[in-house]
Amino acid sequence: MDSESNKNDRFSSLGFIMSAVGSAVGLGNMWKFPYITGQYGGAAFFLLFIVCLLLIGFPVLLAELAVGRGGRGNASSSLTKLSGSKAWGALGFLSVLGAFFIMAFYGVVAGWTLHYAVLSFTGNLFENGDYAGLFNQFIGGWAPIGWQLVVMIVTVLVLIRGVSKGIERFNKLLIPSLVVLLVLLAIQAMSLQGAGEGVSFFLKPDFSKLTGESALVALGQAFFSLSLGMGIMVTYGAYVQKSQSIGSATFAVGLGNVLYALLAGLIIFPTIFVFGIEPTQGPGLVFVALPAAFSAMPFGALFGGLFFVLLSFAAITSAVSILEVPVAYATETFKWKRNSAVLIIGALCFLIGIPLSLSLGGGADWMTINGKPVFDWVDFICSNIILPVSSLVITIFAGYVWKGAAEESGLSAGWFKLWLFMVRFIAPILVLLVLLYYAGVIQV
Ligand code: PFF
């Protein structure tokens, strides 16, 4: 498919909702969300996360979709087209760059989930009982690179087929399977003896645990979780048909994402509490605490395997959307054929992922900067710096610069006023606070 035919390749309405939910629901919901919820106070944090999603996430999601469909271009050119200024396009390019690097890091973690699915089904996961040791040994070695390659090959094969035949079809197949698995695992987790303690940790807020820091982390997570600030929703927005309501789509995608986070929490917290594991251990939570819990439950290999399959499906539908951002940019800007763009950019992200992955095991000296593996640096810079800066760009653009948002969004006058207020005044201020906090300028 060449770049010209790509221009008329659009999502169907349902296909778009499924693809956008597929993008939003990912490692953010099932790997990052549980461990930060564990670290920042459980239910109170979850509540804040929901508030951030509703007040800031939804309006910014709508802004990104409207800019994409209005500009009918990639995450950079849409801004140039709508403003007539290349400077805005250059600011939009930052998100393309962010998506490119996040893909490298995301593909590595997505690979871990595939490996854990296989380990669990075969029962090998439960052999020696030292889950932390197993995890640390695995992520620092060469094996994750093979799994990362598998993730990249699947992502490339989907993207090569284009928007409606590739991205849409893939999501229409995977999202229903994801829902079935999620509900099945949630029922199973909630029916464990003693599941109540985990449920109340997750759903009964203790507001004394809230700090300024947890509020900012919740906001950052709301953005990450809705796939904002990485040009993803701008790119997908360009493939949405004129007849589709962007307001309803925003609501459907946002709600899908909230429900997913809720169910993910209802699987993870009861499971680890029942087996007496603390939820505060950080990024290893899903890969260390959960296997320990699965090993102790009847049919643990099956449920563990299904859990990691769920995680890898969620990760790959998101990976597809992340890689599409630089692919759309390259087909339009460099006039590359879609096939070549997908292959070249997929290969580059894979290559960059190699040192990121190896840095977790020490690797060469240059793979560690200031005592932190480059893997952590890329995550930090993309998630905590580029993501808020790009979100700031899009809110200011949609709220102050571009005058066509009212028409493009199709919102009624009342909803439009509310939306405009949020993207003009509330979202930029809060996003700026997140940025200043992570940049070390303010402390909370
Ligand atoms: N929203 C997805 C997730 O939560 O995993 C994918 C994603 C989008 C990750 C944007 C990171 C990101 F910056």
CATH 1.10.4160 fits 3-438, yes or no: yes
Q: Closest by alpha carbon to 186, among 275, 292, 260?
A: 260
The CB of 314 under 6 Å from ligand 1? The reply is no
Give the nearest ligand 1 atom to 318 CA: 6
Secondary structure class of 212 (helix, strand, coil) = helix
Domain ranges for the chain: 3-438
* Amino acid at position 224, single letter: F
Pairing of strands 368-369, 372-373: antiparallel
Instruction: Show pLDDT as tens, one digit a residue, over the chain (444 residues).
Output: 444 445 689 999 999 999 999 999 999 988 889 888 988 889 999 999 999 999 899 999 999 999 999 999 999 999 999 999 999 999 999 999 999 999 999 999 999 999 999 999 998 999 888 999 999 999 999 999 999 999 999 999 999 999 999 999 999 999 999 999 999 999 999 999 999 999 999 999 888 888 899 999 999 999 999 999 999 999 999 999 999 999 999 999 999 999 999 999 999 999 989 988 888 777 788 999 889 889 988 899 999 999 999 999 999 999 999 999 999 999 999 999 999 999 999 999 999 999 999 999 877 778 889 889 999 999 999 999 999 999 999 999 999 999 999 999 999 999 999 999 999 999 999 999 999 998 889 888
Looking up tokens 């590595």 gives 108
> Helix (H, G, I), strand (E, B), or coil: what is residue 371?
coil
CA 151, 98, 431: angle at the middle one, nearest 5? 125
pTM: 0.94
Q: Tell me if ipTM is over 0.95.
A: yes
Decide if 33 contacts 221 (C-beta within 8 A): yes
C-alpha 226 to ligand 1 mean position (Å): 7
User: In whole angstroms, how far apart are CA 72 and each of 8, 12, 64, 67, 230?
Assistant: 10, 16, 12, 8, 17
Do the beta carbons of residue 392 and residue 101 sit within 8 Å?
Answer: no
413 Cα–ligand 1 center, Å: 31
Task: Find out whether 410 and 402 touch, Cβ atoms under 8 Å.
Answer: no
Write the residue with the smallest CA distance to atom 11 of ligand 1.
224
CB 230 less than 6 A from any atom of ligand 1: yes
- What are the residues whose beta carbons fall under 8 Å from the beta carbon of 78, sequence distance 6 or more? 67, 68, 70, 71, 72, 92, 234, 237, 238
The tokens for 188 are 């199973």
Q: Is 261 near ligand 1, meaning CB less than 6 Å away?
A: no
